[in-house]
Amino acid sequence: MAPLGSVPRLVLLFSGKRKSGKDFVTEALQSRLGADVCAILRLSGPLKEQYAQEHGLDFQRLLDASTYKESYRKDMIRWGQEKRQADPGFFCRKIVEGVSQPIWLVSDTRRLSDIQWFQETYGAVTQTVRVVATEQSRQQRGWVFTPDWLLPRRQDGCLHQPWRLHSSLLIYGQKERECLLPQSQSKTSKSHCG
């Protein structure tokens, strides 16, 4: 059963590695469709907000790419795991409360349990999109490999290479605003993201 609020006509769940371009792509889509039609929802927002409340931290500073956030990242991941184990839909329900637009773009889907919740709750209107970028492109956008960050993410059931789970694959490359939208495994059509 759907949570309180409107029932969407389309839910796109975006996943991808850090700095792959998920935010850029979802913001470009919203810009084209209009904010009155399309809402960008972020699962990390309510997680960070709830974590900040329970731990007496500055919520706004947890939202940016700062050393402040990085110093709490491991504990936030552990805390999020505990919340999801107790209630897999906890953060999903929080982001859909009060959303009235018919199209929802969830820009940071990281866990299989999040995909399952949306599919079970909203059914066939839910589609998954994997955003992919080369390591070089990600580094140009500020990504730095952090090995101690990876292990807790894997233990948390994060989506690292689950290509078979996605309805679409979006390759967001080095040329800003250009992306490839494969229509089948053998054929690819070009589209501009911005």
What is the residue range of 132's domain? 10-192
User: What is the model's pLDDT at position 70?
Assistant: 85
> What stretches of the chain show up as alpha helix (H) in DSSP?
22-33, 44-55, 59-63, 67-86, 90-96, 112-122, 135-140, 147-155
CA distance 174 to 78: 34
User: What is the model's pLDDT at position 45?
Assistant: 86
User: 118 pLDDT band (50/70/90 cuts)?
Assistant: very high
Tokens found for residue 63: 């939202």
* Domain-located, residue 5: no
Tokens found for residue 60: 């706004």
* Domain-located, residue 4: no
Cα-based distances in Å from 54 to 73, 111, 158: 15, 23, 23
* Domain-located, residue 178: yes
User: What is the model's pLDDT at position 67?
Assistant: 86
* Range in 76-85, 93-102, 168-177, 181-190 with the lowest mean pLDDT: 181-190
β-bridge partners, 189 = 181
User: What is the model's pLDDT at position 89?
Assistant: 93
CA distance 75 to 39: 29
pLDDT tens profile 150-165:
544 454 455 444 545 5
Q: Any idea what the CATH number is for the domain that residue 145 is in?
A: 3.40.50.300
Residue position matching structure tokens 């889509």: 29
CA distance 194 to 191: 9
* Domain-located, residue 3: no
pTM of the predicted protein model: 0.73
Number of domains observed in the structure of the chain: 1
Give the best-scoring range by mean pLDDT among 69-78, 85-94, 148-157: 85-94
CA distance 7 to 75: 34
φ, ψ for residue 40 (rounded to 5)?
-95, 125
β-bridge partners, 127 = 12
CA distance 79 to 47: 9
pLDDT tens profile 29-66:
999 999 999 999 999 888 899 999 999 999 998 888 77
Question: Cα torsion at 69, 73, 78, 79 (round to 10°)?
Answer: 0
* Domain-located, residue 86: yes
Tokens found for residue 93: 């329900």
* Domain-located, residue 1: no
* Domain-located, residue 75: yes
Question: Cα torsion at 68, 73, 75, 81 (round to 10°)?
Answer: 150
